[in-house]
Amino acid sequence: MNSNSTGRNTVFDLDLDSEGLLRLTWARDASITEADAEAAMEQVNVLCGESRHPMLVDMATTSDVSRGARGVFGRPCQASRIALLGASPVDRVLANFFLGLNKLPCPTKFFTSEADALSWLGVR
């Protein structure tokens, strides 16, 4: 697992598992900036190389996503599908705001169940 920081505390962990699933987990109470989003997407592309992989994004404890970060997440990367995993009504609002306002580069959907998210991603 790769832990990453952008000058503050560790902001996210990213892993590409043996089944080809990318797992991006944001730190508790993360307020995701454009720099954080750039760092995460750069790591996704580095881990994947020329291959595309489904990605599970655990945003259950995220507190905010900046406008600049939302723009970065709207750019193409090596993720083939993205499942956003949240746990609270606030997570759903953040995800729906993001999903509704951005043209997304690949199929992206919000879930509150990891099993449902993994099934949709086609990895389990």
Sorted by where each begins, the domain ranges of the chain are: 2-121
Q: Show the tokens assigned to 51.
A: 């291959």
pLDDT at 100: 67
How does strand 79-85 pair with strand 53-58?
parallel
Residue 82 has a pLDDT of 93
Q: Quick one: pLDDT at residue 116?
A: 95
Mean pLDDT by 10-residue block, N- to C-terminus, for the chain (124 residues)?
54 93 93 93 95 94 85 91 86 72 80 95 85
* Amino acid present at 43: Q
**Domain range 2-121, CATH architecture:** 3-Layer(aba) Sandwich (3.40)
Rg (CA), the chain: 13
The pLDDT score that the predictor gives to residue 97 is 67
| Predicted TM-score of the model (pTM) | 0.86
pLDDT of residue 43: 96
59's tokens: 């945003």
Helical segments of the chain, H only: 34-48, 67-73, 89-101, 114-121
